[in-house]
Amino acid sequence: MSLLELDGVKVHFPIKKGVLVDRTVGHVYAVDGVSLKVEAGETYGLVGESGCGKTTLGRSVLRLVDITEGSVVLDGTDLAKLPGEEMRRFRRRLQMVFQDPLGSLNPRQNIESILSEGMIAHGIGKDQEERREKIKAILDKVGLPSNALARYPHEFSGGQRQRIGIARALVLEPDVIICDEPVSALDVSVQAQVINLLEELQKELGLTYLVIAHDLAVVRHISDTIGVMYLGSLVEEAPSDALYAEPKHPYTKALMSAVPVPDPEVEDKRERILLTGDLPSPANPPSGCRFHTRCPWAQAERCATERPQLRDIGGGHRVACHYAEDIASGKLSLTKGEVVSATREGVEDNPEPDDPETGTSAEDTPAKIPAQAEKTAKDEKPAEASEEPEKAV
């Protein structure tokens, strides 16, 4: 059995209206039936456009949002059914690293106090002396000096703050760590350091990760298995290499086609699938296949009426598409959208000013899902991390 199993997880946020008495006028179907398994010691990467429900899914695992339906089973225990106090105690085994390193640290607590909080809550260490020893050991593991203890979050750089966030999760010795866009708020130069740290810690401590990201390069680099989300559900799941080698779902194909390939010859022939239409609102998702409003291969009738289930189509791929095999074999042709040469002028798919000719490896190139490129650029600006370079520690 897998360490963490999600089965048919749904999180629906009610949309309320009304002055005196709140009326529910609809729901945001943020997560709408996700089933996945995370194996012990492995990393599951979750990718998808902004607003597709990645964060909500991650939070539902920790029950930070109410689970509308479905089960989250950690090591045989269904968390969705645990009463409050038991869930609180269970949180020790499931920890979270947040996207915004500064916002997730209480500005009025010093590092020692921040890192002690969880230990106190779970009765770890008999006195502060003992806790401090443990905290020092963890700080050393994440590469922070022990004189950090008495300092406050604002005194650290972005990368260091994220290390504090990781240390905070580690002191509880969790089995699973959920990383919600752990590096997207960080300066590009610091991103790799933090990712490497996460990898080292996994090797050393046998951690299991659920990594959420919109950056395909980051996810590919550290994931064993990747799940692609679209409008609240998984559209494809496959081992990392298999997914990158041959994406099967039309949505995954479109995402991947935007990622430059390191091999210049392949890169020259790379084709870019341009999606038409906007991302539908999760409050009013399309009928049938959620992707049919934008799918370049959408077929009349069936795609608009019948919702495809995630099914195994061989090669480790689980795909939620009625026509996955036919699309793979080339039997179906495009019904809308456009396939263009990625290197054609005017097709800007890679916001980073790097030249594929130089043979930069895709791992080092933070390729962005096009829909997110703009958002990411915005996100990176306010992060103070970009002003002060990571102090080597």
Partner 1 sequence: MSVATKTDKIQRLAELTATKETSTGASLWREAFRRLKSSKMAIIGAVIIAVFVVIAVVGPYLTPYAPTAQTWRGEVFPNQGKFVGPRGENWFGLDHLGRDMFSRMLVGARQTLLVGVVSTLIGLVAGFLIGGLSGAAATLGGEAGKRVDSVIMRFIDMMLALPSLLLAVSVAAVMGQSLTTVMIAVGVVQVPVFARLLRGSMLAQGGADYVLAAQSLGVRKRRIVTSQIVPNSLSPVIVQATLSLATAIIEAAALSYLGLGNPDPAIPEWGVMLAQAQRFFDNAPMMAVYPAVGIIITALGFTLLGEAMREALDPKLRG
Ligand X SMILES: Nc1ncnc2c1ncn2[C@@H]1O[C@H](COP(=O)(O)OP(=O)(O)OP(=O)(O)O)[C@@H](O)[C@H]1O
327, amino acid identity: I
Task: Name the 3-class secondary structure at 5.
Answer: strand
73, amino acid identity: V
The binder of 247, among partner 1, ligand SF4, ligand X, none, by C-beta within 5 to 8 A per type, is none
Spell out, one character per residue from 317 to 356, where the chain touches ligand SF4: x when CB under 6 A holds, - when not: ----xxx---------------------------------
**How near is the Cβ of 215 to ligand SF4 at its closest, in Å?**
23
d(CA 265, CA 57): 39
d(CA 18, CA 12): 19
d(CA 288, CA 303): 6
Tokens 């043979």 found at: 359
Size of the site for ligand SF4 (CB under 6 A): 13
d(CA 13, CA 67): 10
**How near is the Cβ of 367 to ligand SF4 at its closest, in Å?**
22
Whether the Cβ atoms of residue 319 and residue 310 lie closer than 8 Å to each other: yes
**How near is the Cβ of 292 to Mg ion at its closest, in Å?**
25
Whether the Cβ atoms of residue 237 and residue 205 lie closer than 8 Å to each other: no
Spell out, one character per residue from 202 to 231, where the chain touches ligand X: x when CB under 6 A holds, - when not: ------------x-----------------
Tokens 């210049």 found at: 264
d(CA 61, CA 5): 10
Spell out, one character per residue from 10 to 29, where the chain touches ligand X: x when CB under 6 A holds, - when not: ---x--------------x-
Position among 292, 317, 318, 368 found at the interface with ligand SF4 (CB under 6 A) = 292
Q: Is 378 in the site for partner 1 (CB under 8 A)?
A: no
Q: Is 108 in the site for partner 1 (CB under 8 A)?
A: yes
Binding site for ligand X (CB under 6 A): 13, 28, 30, 48, 50-56, 214, 282
Binding site for ligand SF4 (CB under 6 A): 250, 289, 291-292, 295, 297-299, 303, 308, 321-323
